[in-house]
Amino acid sequence: MAPLRVDAHQHFWNLELVEYPWLTSDLAPIQRTFEPAELEPQRGAAGIDSTVLVQAANSYADTDYMLRQADRYPWIGAVVGWVPLLEPAEAERALTRYLEHPVFRGVRHLIHDEPDPDWIVQERALEGLQVLADAGISFDFVAVFPNHVKHIPTVAERVPNLTIIIDHLAKPPLRTGTLEPWAIELAAAAQYPNVYAKLSGLNTVVDWDTWAAQDIKPAIDIAIELFGPERLMFGSDWPFGTLAGDYAKVWTETKRALSDRSPPELDALFGGTAAAVYRIRR
């Protein structure tokens, strides 16, 4: 049987059903509805068996919308939704409801949109994260360097039974020509065995028009050295990633950036890790 191929990070949004405050005119090319029928042929052409559908708004409406899509499209193998972390009791009640769905696997909050860069380490947020951990639910940590990576060790220590997944490698500063101190902060996070990361969204932190494998490879190589393939997973970040190339380009150039890796490493990066962390079944 061929190895499972998983896109560990993609989105859908419907502007008629859900509010997305961040989706402003500055992002005009993606300021429209994106739904499964549009992604289906693209992920099929890339040989992707399953995807992880990740929240795009801090709302129940967005989570409910995603779960409805998962009901219709069996290739959606996991859903990462939202609950109010600052209201632990309410978060627990919401999780009880969402866990009745067979592919609800994780929670995310758009912490990078919060005015306070230290939002995730306030006591109420940490209490909410403990609720996730106790329920066996992972947390997608949407860190954006330099504001959030430094908090990952704190969260990992305060909530040691929480599986933490860093989205987009915390957006490394690839345009600057130097990856320090991003790499130092990522190394501190990688010391905790409950911390994982996604090779996703890197095409939007380089030159959108001309980027290729060699532009994202330095950050990928550092991540593999720090985490190993067994704690890393590929994600397309579709449709946000279409700001800097279509699905096929993200898939092709990521494979090129990993062309020097062994087959077992590639199997982990392109499916095995995500399937294990998000409990995705073929």
Max CA separation in the chain (angstroms) = 48
pLDDT, one tens digit per residue, over 141-166 is 999 998 899 999 999 999 999 999 99
Residue of 206, 185, 196, 189 whose CA lies nearest to 232: 196
Are residues 197 and 234 in contact, defined by beta-carbon separation less than 8 angstroms? no
pLDDT tens, position by position, 175-209 = 988 899 999 999 999 999 999 999 999 999 999 99
* Percentage of the residues of the chain whose pLDDT score is greater than 90: 96
The pLDDT, as a whole number, for residue 2 is 85
pLDDT digits 0-9 by tens, 33-68: 999 999 999 999 999 999 999 999 999 999 999 999
What's the pTM? 0.97
Q: What is the DSSP string of 97-117?
A: HHTTSTTEEEEE--GGGSS-T
CB under 8 Å to 5, separation ≥6 — which residues?
46, 47, 48, 49, 50, 270, 271
pLDDT exceeds 80 at position 282: no
- CA-to-CA distance for 33 and 15, rounded, in angstroms? 6
Q: What class is the 6-277 domain?
A: alpha beta
Tokens 């330095």, residue located: 218
Q: What is the mean pLDDT of residues 67-96?
A: 98
Above pLDDT 70, what percent of the chain?
Answer: 100
pLDDT digits (tens, 9 = 90+) for 94-140: 999 999 999 999 999 999 999 999 999 999 999 999 999 999 999 99
Token duo for residue 267: 């199997």
Mean pLDDT of the chain: 97
Residues constituting the chain: 282
User: What is the pLDDT at residue 92?
Assistant: 98
How far apart, in whole angstroms, are the C-alpha atoms of residue 149 and residue 57? 21
